[in-house]
């Protein structure tokens, strides 16, 4: 398209030049003038088609609101206007000028002056001709009087010619033959002879007189007069007299004639001239205009290109696309602009990527922190400065046995339940000034009773968050129930050992002394006295025996040997122990899982555990003493996640509430007899097996103890 336009414009310019040259009367282009005209018109037509096609394309783009078409059409309009307006003005002025100057050549005065000059010339010639004719008539009269002698005629003719001052004088016979001749120019013997027509005319009329030749070759006056003979028989003769027009007159006449001819030529070709000029000018105008408009398209496109790149780039950047645009490789402002724009988008892109990276790092750090928090067994509660809960972790929910996620964004005072916790937190932070140095901490221990379960002991630590992070408070708490229990258990072990040691030592001498008393004093006392002695010594011995048993139990509790852990089948162990309870008054039912995996444990110790649990259950069930309810014991084993659960339940009276929290502590018992060590030992063994023990009351009656043991590796 562009090449086409350039070629068309170039051809147009060449053709225009040729046309202008042809108009300037150069012989070379005479023949090709119509061809040039046609070619120019064809180029104009081609340019017109080009412009129309371009305009249509642009109009369609404009209608479809193609991006940038508005800018392009405005640029085009301005450029085209810049070309069309001056072009039209120059065209109008030139045309007017040309037409006026052509018109100005033709003037009535010039016309009449030329006409007058011509008439003047004609008059001069006519007068000379008349003079010559007059002279010729005289000569003819003289000649007609003259004799017939040839010599006489010749001399007379010569004399007459010299008298008349003519150049040549020739006497011709009627048939045109030269009778006598005389000439100034003696070298030329024969003068120009008249034609037959002229001769005839001369003979018939009163003679003939005319000017011959043209202005350039020289004008000659020729006069033919008839010469009447003296004798009747003599045929009519004709005298020809010629005389050249004086050179000065001839020259002037020639110039007048030439001017007249030129003027007439011009006046005839006036319309043609105007046509040439107007055609050439119009073609020039059209060529220039269309070429300018076609050029304006490309210029508009070219000018708009960098702006469009920028605009597109801005839109793309706004949409989040940072891919670099095509930059103009020019050194002007536009090129610099597009290049800088590209640089800017690149920097934006880099900055965005940097931000993304930072965000990713922060996210990762946060996720890491969250996972750490989540896997923390301790509970964490974070509050803002108004005591609205901001974050919690899984540990907190587990310890408090409540869904704390639902409380996020809730003011601490508006929480339902957890009264002691709320109270403790408030009191803890009551004395803490947020404006004070960050990291002020407090610590306290509270008892809570979440849900149905036993009372838990929590250790709360409160701290203010640094001002930089938005301030606020954080509370970290641990369930230290187990810890306390363990401490107690350890303390009891110590006590038991010392007790066993301290108490057992004097027991044997006391027993021996009582037996010795009985032996020595039996003979010395009467029957009453003896009976009393027996009673007393028996009481001493029995009580000492009981004390010994108790002390041994304590010692056993304290001195449980380390567990020998190895894989074993829990079901088999349960069945083995059950064998001892076949004679029990209570009905023992089992629900043992068939595909129970093996657990890690010490067979002897676990046997002790099962034994203790069964004994407890049996005793609890038998304590009922109710005829209606038959004592029942249910033993259950089942797989539970990564462990195995052994449950022993009875339909006895259950644990009293005051026992429930301390059931695993030594010397806590519901029974009149018994050391209260059963469950304590169970707890100790299960702890050593890394298991868990839970006790709970059943509805409507009874209690359940469940033990969770880890699977064998």
Residues lying near other proteins in the complex (CB under 8 A): 23, 25, 30-31, 33-34, 95-96, 99, 118, 121-122, 125, 210-215, 217, 219, 253, 256-257, 260-261, 264-276, 278
SS3 648: strand
Closer Cβ to other proteins, 95 or 457, answer by number? 95
Closer Cβ to other proteins, 106 or 368, answer by number? 106
* Shortest Cβ 38–other proteins spacing (Å): 10
Q: For residue 245, which phi and psi values (nearest 5 degrees)?
A: -70, 135
* Shortest Cβ 197–other proteins spacing (Å): 9
Q: Please name the residues in contact with 147: beta carbons below 8 A apart, sequence gap of 6 or more.
A: 153
* Shortest Cβ 297–other proteins spacing (Å): 30
CA angle 688, 690, 695 (to 5 degrees): 90
Closer Cβ to other proteins, 215 or 303, answer by number? 215
Kindly state the tokens that stand for 694. Answer: 């839970």
Closer Cβ to other proteins, 147 or 269, answer by number? 269
DSSP state, residue 563: P
* Shortest Cβ 8–other proteins spacing (Å): 25
Kindly state the tokens that stand for 637. Answer: 């084993």
Is cis: bond before 700, omega within 30 of 0?
Answer: yes
Cross-strand bridge partners of residue 225 = 239
Nearest to 146 by CA among 180, 117, 113, 116: 180
Q: CA 546 → CA 508, 541, 562, distances in Å?
A: 12, 8, 27
Run of H or E including 589: strand 587-592
Q: How many CB atoms lie within 10 A of CB 453?
A: 14
Site of tokens 């030049």: 17
* Shortest Cβ 31–other proteins spacing (Å): 7
* Shortest Cβ 86–other proteins spacing (Å): 19
* Shortest Cβ 37–other proteins spacing (Å): 8
Helix axes 108-145, 150-164, angle to 10 degrees: 150
Q: Tell me how far apart the alpha carbons of residues 544 and 556 are, in angstroms, rounded to a whole number.
A: 18
Closer Cβ to other proteins, 210 or 339, answer by number? 210
Q: Tell me how far apart the alpha carbons of residues 198 and 192 are, in angstroms, rounded to a whole number.
A: 12
* Shortest Cβ 121–other proteins spacing (Å): 5
- Given a contact cutoff of 8 angstroms between Cβ atoms, the answer to whether 78 and 323 are in contact is no
Closer Cβ to other proteins, 95 or 659, answer by number? 95
* Shortest Cβ 79–other proteins spacing (Å): 28
Closer Cβ to other proteins, 94 or 397, answer by number? 94
Closer Cβ to other proteins, 96 or 487, answer by number? 96
Closer Cβ to other proteins, 282 or 397, answer by number? 282
* Shortest Cβ 45–other proteins spacing (Å): 19
Closer Cβ to other proteins, 131 or 257, answer by number? 257
- Given a contact cutoff of 8 angstroms between Cβ atoms, the answer to whether 103 and 285 are in contact is no
Closer Cβ to other proteins, 277 or 492, answer by number? 277
Alpha-helical (H) ranges within 167-269 are 196-204, 247-268
Nearest to 194 by CA among 165, 220, 229: 220
Give me Rg for the CA atoms of the chain: 75
Q: CA 360 → CA 197, 357, 364, 369, distances in Å?
A: 126, 5, 6, 14
* Shortest Cβ 47–other proteins spacing (Å): 24
Kindly state the tokens that stand for 124. Answer: 């001069």
């Amino acid at each position: 398209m562009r090449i086409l336009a350039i070629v068309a414009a170039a051809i147009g310019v060449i053709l225009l030049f040729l046309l202008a040259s042809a108009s300037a009367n150069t012989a070379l282009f005479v023949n090709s003038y119509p061809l040039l005209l046609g070619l120019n018109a064809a180029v104009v037509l081609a340019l017109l088609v080009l412009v129309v096609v371009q305009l249509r394309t642009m109009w369609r783009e404009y209608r479809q609101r193609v991006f940038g078409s508005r800018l392009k059409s405005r640029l085009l309009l301005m450029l085209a206007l810049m070309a069309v307006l001056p072009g039209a003005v120059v065209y109008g002025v030139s045309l007017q000028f040309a037409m006026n100057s052509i018109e100005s050549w033709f003037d009535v005065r010039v016309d009449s002056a030329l006409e007058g000059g011509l008439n003047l010339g004609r008059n001069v010639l006519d007068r000379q001709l008349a003079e010559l004719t007059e002279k010729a008539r005289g000569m003819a009269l003289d000649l007609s009087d003259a004799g017939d002698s040839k010599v006489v005629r010749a001399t007379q003719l010569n004399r007459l010619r010299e008298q008349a001052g003519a150049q040549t004088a020739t006497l011709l016979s009627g048939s045109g033959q030269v009778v006598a001749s005389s000439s100034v120019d003696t070298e030329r013997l024969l003068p120009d002879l008249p034609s037959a027509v002229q001769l005839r005319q001369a003979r018939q009329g009163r003679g003939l007189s005319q000017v011959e030749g043209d202005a350039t070759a020289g004008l000659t006056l020729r006069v033919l007069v008839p010469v009447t003979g003296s004798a009747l028989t003599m045929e009519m003769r004709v005298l020809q007299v010629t005389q050249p027009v004086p050179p000065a007159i001839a020259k002037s006449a020639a110039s007048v004639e030439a001017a007249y001819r030129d003027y007439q030529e011009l006046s005839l070709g006036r319309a043609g001239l105007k046509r040439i000029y107007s055609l050439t000018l119009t073609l020039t105008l059209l060529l220039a205009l269309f070429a300018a408009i076609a050029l304006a398209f490309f210029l508009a496109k070219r000018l708009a290109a960098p702006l469009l790149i920028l605009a597109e780039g801005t839109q793309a950047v706004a949409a989040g696309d940072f891919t670099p645009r095509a930059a103009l490789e020019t050194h002007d402002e536009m090129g610099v602009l597009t290049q800088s724009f590209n640089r800017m988008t690149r920097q934006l892109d880099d900055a965005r990527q940097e931000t993304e990276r930072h965000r990713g790092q922060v996210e990762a750090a946060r996720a890491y922190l969250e996972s750490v928090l989540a896997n923390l067994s301790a509970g964490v509660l974070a509050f803002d400065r108004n005591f609205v809960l901001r974050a919690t972790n899984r540990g907190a929910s587990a310890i408090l046995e409540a869904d704390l996620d639902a409380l996020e964004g809730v003011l601490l005072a508006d929480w339902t339940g957890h009264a002691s916790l709320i109270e403790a937190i408030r009191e803890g932070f009551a004395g803490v000034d947020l404006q004070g140095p960050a990291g002020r901490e407090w610590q306290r221990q509270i008892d809570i009773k979440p849900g149905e379960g036993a009372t838990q002991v929590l250790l709360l630590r409160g701290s203010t968050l640094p001002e930089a992070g938005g301030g606020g408070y954080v509370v970290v708490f641990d369930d230290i129930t187990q810890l306390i229990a363990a401490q107690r258990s350890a303390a009891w072990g110590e006590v038991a050992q010392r007790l066993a040691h301290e108490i057992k030592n004097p027991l044997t001498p006391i027993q021996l002394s009582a037996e010795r008393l009985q032996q020595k004093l039996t003979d010395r006392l009467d029957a009453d006295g003896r009976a009393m002695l027996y009673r007393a010594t028996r009481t001493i011995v029995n009580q000492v025996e009981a004390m010994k048993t108790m002390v041994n139990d304590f010692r056993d509790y304290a001195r449980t040997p380390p567990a020998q852990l190895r894989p074993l089948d829990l079901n088999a162990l349960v069945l083995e122990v059950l064998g001892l309870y076949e004679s029990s008054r209570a009905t023992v039912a089992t629900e043992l899982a068939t595909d129970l995996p093996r657990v890690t444990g010490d067979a002897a110790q676990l046997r002790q555990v099962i034994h203790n649990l069964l004994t407890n259950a049996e005793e609890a069930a038998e304590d009922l003493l109710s005829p209606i309810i038959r004592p029942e014991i249910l033993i259950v084993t089942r797989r539970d996640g990564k462990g195995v659960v052994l449950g022993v339940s009875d339909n006895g009276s259950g644990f009293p509430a005051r026992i429930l929290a301390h059931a695993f502590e030594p010397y806590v018992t519901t029974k009149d007899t018994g050391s209260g060590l059963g469950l304590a030992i169970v707890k100790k063994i299960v702890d050593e097996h890394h298991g868990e023990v839970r006790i709970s009351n059943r509805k409507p009656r009874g209690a359940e103890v469940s033990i969770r043991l880890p699977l064998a590796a």
